[in-house]
Amino acid sequence: MKIAMAIGPGFEDLEHWAVYMRMAELGAQIVTVGARAGEVYTAKSGGLTAQADTTANTLQADELTALLIPGGWAPDKLRRDTALLELIRSMDAAGKLLGFICHAGWVAASAGIVRGRKAAGSLGIKDDMENAGAEWVDQPALRDGNIVWGRVVADIPAYNRLLAETLTGN
């Protein structure tokens, strides 16, 4: 199982690292994706960092089991990465698991994959998601087809459970 996790400057540290650790517990090979391979990004809290292993243009949907994106300030930059948006669209078309928590829904909206689907996230992106055609649902975590949504940091346990259930079938 190979999982990509996209990050950028100002990523939400808990939404990245708590999810990363849960995926590692499941035995996943995790590749961290950023704008530049080798770049170290600082979380919005200013404390934790994460280094990008690669860039989105080096990955193909058929080699990945899932692509997960944390919130924070990073999604505002990630949504401008055309290679990442194309990877998301390819993964969605292939029915591969996509996970978005908090502000990461912005990236899904920019990829054009939310219309007609249920979505959750930070209340701060509700209008953007609805304007992109999503049906907003205020719950800790939910799954609509191949997409798992998480609301905010406090909902990481529910988000992680749903990701794990989706990946393992349990």
Kindly list the structural domains of the chain, giving each domain's residue range(s) and its CATH number in brackets, ordered by start: 2-168 (3.40.50.880)
Tens digit of each residue's pLDDT (9 = 90 or more) over 3-44:
999 999 999 999 999 999 999 999 999 999 999 999 999 999
**Which of 16, 77, 103, 117 does the annotation list as catalytic?**
103
Residue 103 annotated among the catalytic residues of the structure: yes
pTM score > 0.85 for this model?
A: yes
Pairing of strands 97-101, 141-144: unpaired
Catalytic residue (choose from 102, 119, 152, 156):
102
Could you report the per-residue pLDDT of 41-65, keeping only the tens digit for each? 999 988 899 999 999 999 999 999 9
- Concerning whether 102 is annotated as a catalytic residue, the answer is yes
**What percent of the chain shows pLDDT beyond 90?**
98
Q: How far is CA 93 from the centre of its chain?
A: 16
